[in-house]
Amino acid sequence: MLILFNKPYRVLSQFRDPDGRATLGDFIDLPGVYAAGRLDFDSEGLMLLTDDGRLQARITQPRNKTRKTYWVQVEGEPSAEQLAELTRGVHLKDGPARAAAARRIDAPDGLWERNPPIRYRKNVRDSWIEIVLTEGRNRQVRRMTAAVGLPTLRLIRYSIGDWTLGDLQPGEWREVKAPKFA
């Protein structure tokens, strides 16, 4: 079984929380499924859940270099040099990190409102970039954009491998056909 889930903002990527915060269990009531990877509490977007340990490992193991695409609303206007720096690599406290691709995009069509909305500043423009990673470290996208002078305001994971959010709204999920591995 493979579940595509649009994780809302301020929901934990686990099924229980002793502090009472919203979790995956508030949206998905299926026994035996586990998250194939994580998404920060402050981030939104696609998560995959499965009951297949081999599939979970295939998706999450760094050696498989599964591509993950993020839509990132940043403070400021990205320059060509800042985007190039993301793909060349930046130095983070836990080592170098580089995007497989980074480009400026228009605000995504049909994007839902976030609750609460991002903070707007009258004198500071914001814009959107698309970043593709083949690894995933804790808060990596946010740390990378900050390293090039583009603080992240909103972060949405759009795709993992060939799976995308499609028309899923926050809190919605659907089951899709899981791939079979030899």
> Active site includes 17?
no
Burial class for 43, CB neighbours closer than 10 Å (0-12, 13-18, 19+): buried
Q: Which residues are 33's β-sheet partners?
A: none
Q: Which residues of 52-63 are buried (b: 16+ CB within 10 A; e: fewer)?
A: beebbebbbeee
Contact (Cβ atoms closer than 8 angstroms) between residue 156 and residue 71: yes
- Maximum Cα–Cα distance for the chain, whole Å? 56
**Active-site annotation holder among 40, 52, 109, 126:** 40
Q: Which are the catalytic amino acids?
A: 40
